[in-house]
Amino acid sequence: MAAAAAASGPPRGFQFAIDRGGTFTDVFARCPGRPAVRVLKLLSEDPGYRDAPTEGIRRILQERAGVAVPRDQPLDTSAIEWIRMGTTVATNALLERRGERLALLVTRGFRDLLHIGNQARPRIFDLEVAVPEVLYEEVIEVDERLIPQQPGCCLPGTETLPLLEGSTGTSLLVQRPLELSALRRELEGVMARGIRSLAVLLLHSYACDWSGHEEQVGALAREMGFRHVSLSSAVAGMVRAVPRGYTACADAYLTPCIHRYLESFRAGFAHQLQAVPVLFMRSDGGLTPMQHFSGARAILSGPAGGVVGYAVTTYRHQDGQPVIGFDMGGTSTDVSRYAGEYEHVFEASTAGVSIQAPQLDINTVAAGGGSRLFFRSGLFVVGPESAGAHPGPACYRKGEWPVTAVGAAPRCRAHRHPRPGAGGPLTVTDANLCLGRLLPEYFPRIFGPGEDQPLCREAAARAFRELAASIDAFQAGTAAGARPPLSVEEVAMGFVRVANEAMCRPIRALTQARGHDAARHVLACFGGAGGQHACAIARALGMSRVFIHKYSGVLSAYGLALADVVHEAQTRVALRYEPPAFPRLDERIAALERECRDALRAQGFAGAQIRTEAFLHLRYEGTDCALMCSAKGHPPTPRSCRAGDFLAAFTSRYLVEFGFTIPDRPVVVDDVRVRGTGSSGISCETPLAPSGKPARVETVTRCYFEEGYLETPVFLLEELACDHTIPGPAIVIDKNSTIVVEPGCTASLTRFGDICIAVGSGSPRPVGPELDAVQLSIFSHRFMSIAEQMGRILQRTAISTNIKERLDFSCALFGPDGGLVSNAPHIPVHLGAMQETVQFQIRNLGEDLREGDVILSNHPCAGGSHLPDLTVITPVFWPGVPKPVFFVASRGHHADIGGITPGSMPPHSRRCGEEGAVFVSFKLVKDGVFQEEAVTEALMAPGRVPGCSGSRNLPDNLSDLRAQVAANQKGIQLVTELIRLHGLPVVQAYMAHIQANAEVAVREMLKDFAARWGTAVEAEDHMDDGSPIRLRVQVDPQEGSAVFDFGGSGPEVYGNCNAPRAIALSALIYCLRCMVGRDIPLNQGCLAPVRVLIPKGSILDPSPEAAVVGGNVLTSQRVVDVIFRAFGVCAASQGCMNNVTFGTALGGYYETVAGGAGAGPRWRGRSGVHTHMTNTRITDPEVLELRYPVVLRRFELRRGSGGAGRFRGGDGVTRELLFRRATTLSVLSERRALRPYGLRGGSPGAPGLNLLLRRDGRTINLGAKTSVPVEPGDVFHLQTPGGGGFGDPGDGGDARDGGDPQGAADPPRSFAERGSLFEYRRAQEAV
């Protein structure tokens, strides 16, 4: 078949590679005759034609034929050799929720599993928990249940259950056989309601290779006439029910849409394209025949072509220099990495849907040239909001944007939509235009109300003048007030610099996350807007080379022409990687290789064109951190599989990514995957002839750079030859992009006509200690980047599951007074708490803090939250300064540090010592020496107390503490680099400026509240034992300050619900950030306008001996409830973390469980989600049952538990655990007696309930806090609280009559974040 033909020679017919994007469709065509290449760009949606790819093909055929080709007739295909396409059809349908109507079939008891998901909320400071709705309309619960067989299981009756041996190595018991007769009746009802697409999710179906499980359901549905049925075991045959279910739903939702599009596309051609090979790009970077193109593999179909394009054209095998792909378009910016192999992720989220399928790791990190510009509380802010295509930037003149949106987020929803008139909001594109980096005369005249005008520089300049005036007015009242007024160019240049720094942060994270140095990479730039920023970004990252392909404006289409056809096969296994398993693994690999080769041969590929590569999905036993490893470069040995030494490949990659290996730990194989590739990419690089004369200057323009306006020559790329060298400053214009060569950089053309820019170091811009708004924004990014990079080192080098995989840690930078400067990630319960710890050490140790010392602390009296959170603090010294100039610290949750129960979180502790080892000001490192013996003795000290144990996992404690020390060292390195660059006075000055900026944002919020709701508010709530939490707030409307007085709160309790003072401060910072309603630096400045009064000896500031573990996870939630009640922000959420632990002395399991979110003045509470001070993900049901001696019987919403109101509170959940062995169950919870309050006429949510259903038929109410032995067959039945309702149910008007302290939420992000960086951040915030 032609699809398999190597196309390095001249084409026999027309070869089309087409990228159908959301705004534009790019066409790259190889044509018979001369010229051999034709490139075309057209709108993806236009009333003048039915389908953009078809129209692009028609235009080129007509142009070459020289005769008219009618639009209304099918195109003749006789001259077409092949067509390749990438499309955003699937992505757009998912984002806009325009897919097929479908129903979900799921195991009984789990109807709401995909609604709950992992129970974490996506944005931790948004009180309105906005989660994209599920894709299905209806749910049918299927009567069936498989459970894993477990050695040592004592569950009565399991010995008589049928046993199924799966080929994966997992044995399953049939607890409840599949019942099809009742299912048929329910499917008939679904069909009668017009639904024809189904997704099927039955628990543990990944292990089923027989025909009696999901396959039977699918066969029944197809027999009944359902047009599309997606079986989770077929679409994503990997363990973990939630992402597998999401993937099946996405496939059932999107594949019919794709099929409809393909039918429509084929209809535009004669004979439905039967004789023409048509290939589509999949998310993994491989092409597949049109008939195999499906929804779950189509999400990244468009962007994947760009990755293939830069990987093939930029990467040089001879030197192996890795490449960063930088794709900056009008509405999004993507970054990715290539180092000789494509980097894949095997689970990623798009539009709130996790898809479990191989995907290129393409990280969408910003909104591109359309990123909106704001000036907020003294900060220059770029994005994340986008102007979109309509109204577009101000210079498009497609709609009049209100003045309230220039420089600040609009407060009123009505102002978010443009009115017909002058232009949209200010964007990065407007900034580049005002700086002379975009030349309107080289753009098509498609702008203005009639879409027939050029870009308008004056419209952008006018908006910048307004913004400059508002910035000057703001700065007049600050320390920067003496500065001269800002010009349009200074403001625009400031925003460009801030945008560049914002885009550098994710690139640093992408490289450092895997142990790579960003400076060693080449920056491959493509997309319409990237060329204006490439030099500056490369320079900021220390890169020496930028590569811009001659087809950079259409590189995704060009990449389709270069790509290979791919067929992948995968199967689940559950084996240790050891010699007895090698024959079975070799057999699996060989079978999958045969499948791939057969599939590619069927497409016409010869054996010589086919390559296969085997992968094993490997992890250390007892961990969740699995790596998909190829044995490439690791040949087989007598102690390996025949396919290669996968263990060597795994340990080598693990060492690079995480900084260590675990030599004595067995390695487990989860999956076997084979990727078969049929080589069919074209080669159409035509060398350029040297011109022998200087490059012709098209024109000379004035362009604004750091040095000011410079005379800048303009060149046309099409006129340049391979012997031309262009020193900066210069502008090179292509048909689809504008490239800015900055001063100090030199551009040259390669022999094939591509641009290679040598990036000079440039002259550093002098920065003084006085406040500069642009530098303030840049330093804000730099300080945050330090904390983020510390976190990456900690995650890479830690060994415990809690830190490495659950990411339960925070890293932070502090000033010389111990005040917080930057903190990452934003775990609510850590916010501000570490500041108390650092300041305590400064007071407590004084002159005894020396260079080479590292301090360990966890005691509540020293700013600790609870004992398992160990804080490691390192002072930063500078030559000639006797005291520390900064501090860096890392706080990590250690799974066990001793105490009366495993996990160090006992539900019945009465004093601090029962909760584990205690450190006040312990020198973990002294004079540069790690004090292993002393810290070991301290960690084991609780074992000397009767009834207590020392640490039950000392090796992990020591390893994680070393990792925390290493993270701090990284912080010191980055801080000292910043000081060397700018000087100590400047860095310390901007530390203070950043703190002052956060203070301004909080003062503005308090002034706004006082103006609308008064200067004095108060509230009270109670713990279940009756202990009151009281708060009186007095706001000064002139200063924007407030006194938060917790006087009258109850005394310290005889139990563990005492909350250290640091916890109350963390809760307060969290609430202030929520009420500000937008991103601000979270640092000491947030509390500067606030005076906090907490009575000593109270439940919020207990004695040093008090037990506090419940205060961290329970009382913290009540403090939040009281603050929000006082401010009238929203009704109470569930107010509890529902801590559940079970286990024995040999090990255990810990989880927190979601409940209902409180409703607010414009929103209903979300059901089944974590709220406020926690955001912990819950273990997937299949993983839970595979690893622990329980069966999850139910996990669903507790319908009706949310409080009634004009806006109803969210429902809690019902969760049932059936125990398979004798164990100890511990529960630590609240809101079992007192209900979460409703607000302004709304009803309270239902309280929670903890029941133990004994196997003998008894039902026992366990109360809120208990520890109880359970036997096989016992069931723990948990009902979590619902959220309170807001507003009177009979009130049809606005329940608030004028808004709320949080104000109108910012507009939603206009680009869909995705990729490993996004997943990492979500995981960090899910703690």
What are 953-1002's pLDDT values in tens digits? 888 899 899 889 989 998 998 999 899 988 999 999 999 988 888 888 88
Predicted local confidence at residue 420, as pLDDT: 41
Closest among 412, 409, 425 to 376, alpha carbons compared = 409
Angle formed by the axes of helices 555-562 and 301-314, to 10°?
Answer: 80
Q: Which amino acid is at 1177?
A: R
**% residues pLDDT > 70 (the chain):** 92
- Cα separation, 408 vs 395, in Å, equals 19
Each residue of 40-89: pLDDT tens digit? 888 887 888 889 999 999 999 998 888 888 988 999 999 999 999 998 88
Predicted local confidence at residue 222, as pLDDT: 95
Predicted local confidence at residue 408, as pLDDT: 38
Predicted local confidence at residue 302, as pLDDT: 83
pTM of this prediction? Answer: 0.86
Predicted local confidence at residue 1301, as pLDDT: 37
Mean pLDDT calculated for residue range 401-428: 48
Alpha helices in 268-384 (DSSP H): 301-314
- Cα separation, 213 vs 7, in Å, equals 45
Mean pLDDT calculated for residue range 26-32: 90
- Cα separation, 1201 vs 1208, in Å, equals 10
Query: Which residues pair with residue 145 across a beta bridge?
Result: 176
Predicted confidence (pLDDT) at residue 1282 exceeds the cutoff of 50: yes
Each residue of 714-725: pLDDT tens digit? 999 989 988 899
Each residue of 1124-1152: pLDDT tens digit? 999 999 999 999 999 998 887 666 788 89
Predicted local confidence at residue 1078, as pLDDT: 76
Closest among 1261, 1160, 1157 to 1212, alpha carbons compared = 1157
DSSP 8-class letter at 442: G
Cβ-count burial 392-420 (b if 16+ within 10 Å, e if not):
bbbbbbbbebeeebbbbbbeeeebbebee
Least confident window among 424-428, 523-527, 830-834: 830-834
**DSSP per-residue letters across 864-914:** -SSTTEEEEEEEE--TT-SS-SEEEEEEEE-S---BSSTTS--TT--BGGG
Predicted local confidence at residue 2, as pLDDT: 43
Cβ-in-10-Å burial (0-12, 13-18, 19+) of 285 comes to buried
Band of residue 443 on the pLDDT scale cut at 50, 70, 90: confident
Three-state DSSP at 1181 gives: helix
Contact 486, 472 (CB under 8 A): yes
Predicted confidence (pLDDT) at residue 903 exceeds the cutoff of 80: no
Contacts of 538 (CB under 8 A, 6+ apart): 523, 544, 545, 546, 757, 759
Cβ-in-10-Å burial (0-12, 13-18, 19+) of 547 comes to buried
Contact 1219, 1273 (CB under 8 A): yes
Residue 476, both tokens = 């007049």
Mean pLDDT calculated for residue range 791-803: 79
For residue 831, the Cα-to-chain-centroid distance in whole angstroms is: 20
Average of per-residue pLDDT values in the chain = 87
- Cα separation, 211 vs 511, in Å, equals 45
Contact 651, 585 (CB under 8 A): no
Alpha helices in 707-832 (DSSP H): 773-797, 801-804
Band of residue 1297 on the pLDDT scale cut at 50, 70, 90: very low
Predicted local confidence at residue 908, as pLDDT: 86
Predicted confidence (pLDDT) at residue 887 exceeds the cutoff of 60: yes
H/E run at residue 508: helix 488-512
Predicted local confidence at residue 575, as pLDDT: 87
Predicted confidence (pLDDT) at residue 418 exceeds the cutoff of 50: no
Predicted local confidence at residue 826, as pLDDT: 65
Predicted local confidence at residue 1327, as pLDDT: 59
Least confident window among 136-145, 857-866, 1030-1039: 857-866
Each residue of 590-641: pLDDT tens digit? 999 999 999 899 888 888 889 999 999 998 887 767 888 999 889 999 889 8
Mean pLDDT calculated for residue range 190-200: 95
Band of residue 513 on the pLDDT scale cut at 50, 70, 90: low
Predicted local confidence at residue 164, as pLDDT: 85
Least confident window among 136-150, 254-268, 762-776, 877-891: 762-776
Q: Are strands 929-930 and 922-926 parallel, antiparallel or unpaired?
A: antiparallel
Predicted local confidence at residue 574, as pLDDT: 80
- Cα separation, 1272 vs 694, in Å, equals 86
Least confident window among 545-549, 686-690, 919-923: 686-690
